[in-house]
Chains A and B, each alone.
Chain A
Amino acid sequence: MMAEPNQREMEELRRRLEEAEETLRAIRSGEVDALVVAGTEGERVYTLHGAEQPYRILIESMQQGAVTLDGEGAILYCNRSFADMVKRSHEKVIGTAFAEFLPSSQRPSLAAMLNQSRTCSCEGEFQFQAADGTFLPVYLVLNPLPLGDSVSICVVVTDLREQKKQQDLQEASQRKEQFLATLAHELRNPLAPVRNAVQILCMKAPAFPELQWATEIIERQVQQMTRLIDDLLNVSRISRNKLELRKERVDLLRVVQHAVETSQPFIEEGGHELKVLHPSTPIFLNADPTRLEQVLLNLLNNAAKYTEQGGCILLTTERQGSDVVVSVKDTGIGIPPEKLSTIFEMFSQVEGAMSRSKGGLGIGLYLVKRLVEMHDGTVAAHSEGPGKGCEFSVHLPILVEQAVPPTTGAEQDGRTPRSSFRILVVDDNKDNASSLAMLLTIMGNTVRKAYDG
């Protein structure tokens, strides 16, 4: 007995017939981009006109050169970029052997690569020799291109000049960084014996007023030089990621006090009034006290430097949630709004007679920003505009748990330190050895010198 096709089966057959008819209709109406056709070596996709347009445009407009070669290495097609690279016109290129664009010394390697590329992808660095004789370093990537029975080769050509230029720039930059580091080191060396000598003069000078005055000038200027060179050294270290922080549990107030003390001369020179506000309870941070002091000192010195005589500087410390905010506010020349966003960049300085007369390298704020960031904090600058002063605020996270216990720093009380040890000073810089030896002798030690091991 014959089985009757039931409702469901009929429905399914109807649907499939419908689908087939729909497909044919769509193809005939040109609603498709491509047809998949079985070939002798697998499926081939036949593209209907228009579908290849995007690829054509891509190939024609890309910066790299694209070339198709036949089995013998003759050029079947090339894009505009390739024609430009070899400095010939399109028409002259088509039909030429690809090898003609290379110097004869490189043709054997190219031939070997062409052979290899019939079966697998290969690549290598070559040189083109353009029509006018100039050389062009290029990178070639070859791929087999099965087209029916024959095998073509498609080549992508990358111009290496840009890459080489970048490499050269990078090397030059590295050499410059190295030079700056060496420079900073070399500049520092003579300063050590000078500082020692100055210390000696300071101890003996009070007897003669002019000598005292002269000595103080030398001391101040040497300090200034030391600061500048230290800034240079620090920036150089930070740029090469060689700056290390020695973090410990630090009382922020003590750091603030040190910074204020060190900046006193600058502030007094400007005739400014400095007010310091801080909470009554201590605030502890996990920070490198020297570097943190450097940050605050930089901000205070800037405030002093960029404020006209008799201005006001306000240094405040206050808690804000889990952070502490240290702010240095001045009534100085302010910062123009367009400069605010670049103020922390290297070598950025506000234009004007004041900057030029006070000097500086323009790296202080860059250093401040990097150091603050290395402490997981942020720094920001605000100014209402030129002549309206400015405010720098540093946000730092407050220490939650115990870090390394603080080192016991010897307090400087201003008087000549006295000790009595037997000391051997060794330095191949004779001035340095002599000056240090003399200084230690004056301090009451028994000193011997040696100039080498």
Chain B
Amino acid sequence: MRKKQVSSTEAFERLVAATSGQEKYLLRLYVTGMTPRSTSAIAQIKAICQEHLEGRYELEVIDIYQHPTLAKDEQIIAAPTLIKKLPLPLRRLVGDLSNKQRVLLGLDLRDVQGRPK
């Protein structure tokens, strides 16, 4: 039976998480400048970060009009898109980011039943 190769980064992350329970989140939000959807997505994500990830998150907001190449590198196909780069695994959430439950689920901050992990 083949032993599964666990990536060392993943293992390290889990180790750190297991001991401290406080993983650092690196989030990227791709928006289209000034649309109402963009501005409300930015506000909503910021609020969620402040409420659930106080002191352990980094949020970058990127306007795809101004940085189309960045969008391509991350394989963004539509905006708004929220990417959770860290902690692994990478997660992608497209569309309506005003649904708090949906966002928390997408960020792995809630399990399917809506209970905090």
Contacts and interface: CB of A to CB of B under 8 A. Distances in A.
A165 B100 CA distance: 54
B32 A23 contact: no
A54 B35 contact: yes
Given A32-B79, A51-B32, A43 B69 contact: yes
Nearest to B68: A43
A416 interface: no
Interface in A32-66: 32-36, 38, 42-45, 47, 50-51, 53-55
Contacts, number: 90
A23 B78 contact: yes
Contacts of A3: 1-2
A34 B76 CA distance: 11
B1 A27 contact: no
Interface in B38-96: 38, 64-65, 68-69, 71-72, 76-80, 89, 91-96
Contact of B91 (A4, A19, A29): A19
A45 B65 contact: yes
Nearest to B34: A54
B64 A32 contact: no
A23 B69 contact: no
A46 to B, nearest CB: 10
A357 interface: no
A51 B95 contact: no
Nearest to A50: B35
A36 B30 CA distance: 11
A38 B77 CA distance: 9
Contacts of B95: 22-23, 25-27, 29, 31-32
A31 B65 CA distance: 18
B4 interface: yes
Contacts of A1: 1
A36 B79 contact: yes
Contacts of B65: 45
A1 B2 CA distance: 9
A54 B39 CA distance: 12
Given A26-B78, A36-B78, 15 more contacts: A4-B1, A12-B89, A19-B92, A22-B94, A23-B94, A32-B79, A32-B80, A32-B94, A34-B79, A36-B64, A42-B68, A43-B68, A45-B64, A50-B35, A54-B33
Interface of B: 1-2, 4, 31-35, 37-38, 64-65, 68-69, 71-72, 76-80, 89, 91-96
